[in-house]
Structure 1
């Protein structure tokens, strides 16, 4: 039963921002359970290294693509190439993200716009492009990566990135609304809201505030890779076939 619930054999997953960090961890988990993998980001070198490692380690097909998710043209090209290479996309993980740390009163408009363009507009554009294909097939699992920062407001001494927090709250509502709109097409749309995990994006915040973050966490720890991989596998496979429109916090209880 366990294998049937989580087995991804015969599925193809596209993971944005899949060359490093949480995106790579999710791509690796999907590959371990049998999925073919397409990874994309602006830094195609990281994606290529990830794709090569996945193919060598898990024996599945993996491809890397260069894509700026704030560009509709690049998204269209990436999705078309992935469909040519794999024939279909069953699972989409919208993981590409941007952040900008600054006091609100000093936040440049360009910084605010950059964060929202990547985190919100990019999630919309990629979901639209892949979703059209999924609707034709009558099946698809979309997993958006939100954040606990979009659920609760952190004090400025812990996280001072209002554009990021606002964008992730928008991603959470986008997830719910899209799930409602596409449920009749056989598509599932859910989100994961990670707490503090050690990634390239969070390393500076954690370096300055690790003790405070751990102290304030009910489970007294930071996030670990397996915790995120487990939830992603659940949302990607048959185990979640009666789950849509949900935002699952993976945060050790910090959003309670």
Structure 2
């Protein structure tokens, strides 16, 4: 995957570094080309051709999470694992091995300190509609950041529209196991990770966000553990927390 330069996304990412009364929010929006680079070609061959696999083979995804009262029951988005939409086989959402590889490669590119190569299809879900995704993201960020997010919201969705045309995308969500990835850190209140995959454009927009408890960070400072935060808190924020602890 190749990270595509986008000054608008860089500005939005800067705006998604938010400090609220109870949490610090770290959000990023990035655009990637699905063109394979470097070691990805070898990994692609290993994952897709060993043991007789084919890139077009389908794998079952997990069902989408039903958050905030949003019900996908009236949305037709499931297909049979056998590929027969008229019947036969258990109904579930599926993804090709090639598309799954693109999602995993995006995670590896976005979080270079972690290795997602062994991630399974069941750790991902396909979202029923763009409206559900927008509602989920807006609910998370509006509840956590209120007006700070509201002033950014229109620019955020307009920029995503200009970059990827989300109505033409398959939208996936990564649901991590919270054991061996960036989202299982102590003090993490919630996180979301959405992929807007436009097959025609061969491009993915990745929207990742997590909220870290301010109270947890202050307890770490007060304990004098000496351990560095893995969440890359900026210096101004750290100084502010230290001043609060000293008061």
TM-score, normalised with respect to structure 2:
0.24
TM-score, normalised with respect to structure 1:
0.24
* Structure exhibiting the larger radius of gyration computed from Cα positions: 2
More RCO (CA 8 Å, sep 6+)? 2
Q: Report which of the two has the higher share of helix.
A: 1
